[in-house]
Amino acid sequence: MKRIILMAAVALMALPVAAQTVGEAFPSYIQVNGRAEKEIAPDEFYLSVVIDERDSKGKLSVESQQRDMIA
């Protein structure tokens, strides 16, 4: 009698353990790759101009380079 009660108790304790098993090792998923582009009109832009003198035969002064750039 003790043996039957002990086996029933062990069987009842084992039921919750079996309820915790995972159905699938890797669940289903969808992999998506995408790309989007949007053209915009800029409100502001920045311009940087650097003028320097070179040490060569056709040397131009900074002043003449500035005049040529403005004209």
**pLDDT at residue 35, as a whole number:** 93
How far apart CA 27 and CA 39 sit, in angstroms, is 39
Sign of CA dihedral 18, 23, 26, 27: negative
**Could you say which DSSP state residue 57 is in?**
T
**pLDDT at residue 19, as a whole number:** 58
Q: Which residue has the higher pLDDT, 44 or 62?
A: 44
> Could you give phi then psi for residue 9, rounded to 5 degrees?
-65, -45
- Give 4-51 pLDDT, tens digit per residue: 999 888 888 877 765 555 666 677 788 899 999 999 888 888 888 877
Structure tokens at 34: 């995408």
- pTM tops 0.85: no
